[in-house]
Structure formats: C-alpha cells, structure tokens
Amino acid sequence: EIVMTQSPATLSVSPGKRATLSCRASQSVSSNLAWYQQKPGQAPRLLIYGASTRATGIPARFSGSGSGTEFTLTISSLQSEDFAVYYCQEYNNWPRLTFGGGTKVEIK
Amino acid sequence: EVQLVESGGGLVQPGGSLRLSCAASGFTFSSYWMHWVRQAPGKGLVWVSRINSDGSSTYYADSVKGRFTISRDNANNTLYLQMNSLRADDTAVYYCARDRGFRGYFDYWGQGTLFTVSS
C-alpha cells in the first residue's frame, strides 16, 4: 500500500508571495501524480496531472514538478482565490488510488 | 458543460443500507470510467470505488469491499453506489468523479452528497 505524505499540514503565506507544497510517496509512483485544490464547501478541482501538466483552464502560476517519490506544487504569486486545501493523489498503484492528507494554504 | 449531480444522502442507522446516485450530463457518459470518492467531515479525500465504461469491471477500497457495490446505467447516464452494512465511519460527503482518460485521476467532480450513519 502506497502512503502519500504532504507537508506542511498548514502553510501561511502572504498574498503575492510564493507557496511551495510537498508530497512524498512511500514508493515510486513514477510521474503518475495529480494535484487538486479544494475550497470550503466545494468539490475538489484538478490542477495538475502527470506531475507537471496543468489541467485545462488552470493559471500558469500553478506548476508541478517531481517524479518517483518526491513532488512539489508551486504557486508562484498567491492570489486571494488560491487560499484553499491542496491534495496530491497517486494513480500509479492501479487500481487502488491514494490521496495525501492535504496542505491548507492560509493567509499570513 | 460537464455536470455530475449526486443524490441520495441523508441519515441512516448503523447496519442500514443506502443507494447514492450520480446523474451525468454534458459528455458521453458511456465512454468514461467513473469513481466514487468520499470525505469524512473535516478530513481528507479517500478513494472508494471505480467502474469501467461498460460496467464490466469494478474495484473497491479495502474499507468498503464486500459492503459497497458500484454500478452504472449508461442508457440513463447514471452512476450508483449501493452501500450496505453501514458503519459510523462511513459518514462522509460522497463525490462522484469522472476519470480523465482511463488513468485514475479525476477531471470533473460532482458537488457531493452527505450521509450520516447514526442511531
């Protein structure tokens, strides 16, 4: 069973600053990793798949990197609408799929 | 516009049963794998189950295997989750989600339906 660990649990960032979120897999997931954003009371939204490919309509300030067991989601300049919880999810261990525990990005 | 609309949530007693539905529109439902993902109150996302395009193949998380059954009606563009032997730890918002391309990640999600297992 793959375990996905996200850090930090909470990230306090000022608007306009950079946010860097980490996701670590307990074993290699190759590049089979997605990132989602979830705002309170809303469904998750796909941001990144294939570790680094932005989904349709996702602003360029969101970028993903990494492969194997270490992944990063970077938000280059935080906007007010970016304060949310972010989840990584591996899809290498098919058919089972595993999410990380989430990182909450809050206003500093 | 792709839309996924879940229904069927509510209050159920432990040991009871419930069926969730997810009505799909705006895309060719029969061409996509579909999933259920749940989120307990204040907690993270947990994958529950997957069904392939024609309903011939299904997979479940260990926590629900033998108790939950995923199915679909492609003629009516509807996904289902039959849940039996419900426990308190099944309490969650349940989302249906579309698989982007037989890969195991989700490009569209419903708004979710909440059900609570409690006596």
Mind listing the pLDDT tens digit of every residue in chain A (108 residues)? 899 999 999 999 999 999 999 999 999 999 999 999 999 999 999 999 999 999 999 999 999 999 999 999 999 999 999 999 999 999 998 889 999 999 999 988
Rounded to the nearest angstrom, the gap between the alpha carbon of residue A54 and the centroid of all alpha carbons in its chain is 11
Question: How far from each other are the two terminal CA atoms of chain A, in whole angstroms?
Answer: 36
CB B18 within 8 A of CB B117: no
Put simply, the answer to whether B44 touches A49 (Cβ < 8 Å) is no
Rounded to the nearest angstrom, the gap between the alpha carbon of residue B2 and the centroid of all alpha carbons in its chain is 17
- pLDDT band at residue B103 using 50, 70 and 90 as cut-offs: confident
CB contact set of A4 (below 8 Å; sequence gap of 6+): A23, A24, A25, A26, A88, A89, A90, A98, A99, A100, A101
Measured CB to CB, residues of chain A less than 8 Å from chain B are 32, 34, 36, 38, 42-46, 49, 55-56, 87, 89, 91, 94-102
Compute the nearest-CA separation of B76 from chain A (Å).
Answer: 24
CB A96 within 8 A of CB A107: no
Q: Which of B45, B100, B104 shows the shortest C-beta gap to A44?
A: B45
Sign of the CA dihedral running A46, A50, A51, A55:
negative
User: Can you tell me the distance from the alpha carbon of A52 to that of A72, in angstroms, rounded to the nearest whole number?
Assistant: 9
Rounded to the nearest angstrom, the gap between the alpha carbon of residue B85 and the centroid of all alpha carbons in its chain is 16
Tokens of A12: 């306090």
Residue for token pair 């529109």: B25
User: Can you tell me the distance from the alpha carbon of B14 to that of A37, in angstroms, rounded to the nearest whole number?
Assistant: 32
CB contact set of B11 (below 8 Å; sequence gap of 6+): B115, B116, B118
The string of pLDDT tens digits covering residues B39-98 is 999 999 999 999 999 999 999 999 999 999 999 999 999 999 999 999 999 999 999 999
* Three-state secondary structure call for residue A68: coil
Tokens of B114: 């909440």
Residue for token pair 């996924």: B4
